[in-house]
């Protein structure tokens, strides 16, 4: 699972496919709500605010 900014979305997809050998589901963080999980404040790869959840 990756939480990433727009700039690193492609990198997250590539790493997910390399690890799991299948395409990920991609969700806009602004459009999903989890009751028991809070998105990290920064991208997995940099300090920018995250925009996407790659699972």
The pTM of the full predicted model, rounded to 2 decimals, is: 0.91
User: From the first residue on, what is the mean pLDDT of each consecutive set of 10 residues in the chain (55 residues)?
Assistant: 97 98 97 90 98 97
Is 22 exposed, middle or buried, given 0-12, 13-18 or 19+ CB atoms closer than 10 A? exposed
Specify the DSSP element, H or E, that contains 41: none
| Listed residue (48, 5, 13) closest to 29, CA to CA | 5
């Amino acid at each position: 699972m990756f939480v990433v900014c727009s700039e690193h979305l492609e990198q997250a997809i590539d790493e997910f496919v390399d690890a799991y050998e299948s395409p990920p589901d991609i969700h806009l963080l602004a459009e999903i709500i989890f009751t028991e999980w809070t998105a990290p404040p920064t991208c997995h790869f940099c300090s920018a605010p995250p925009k996407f959840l790659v699972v």
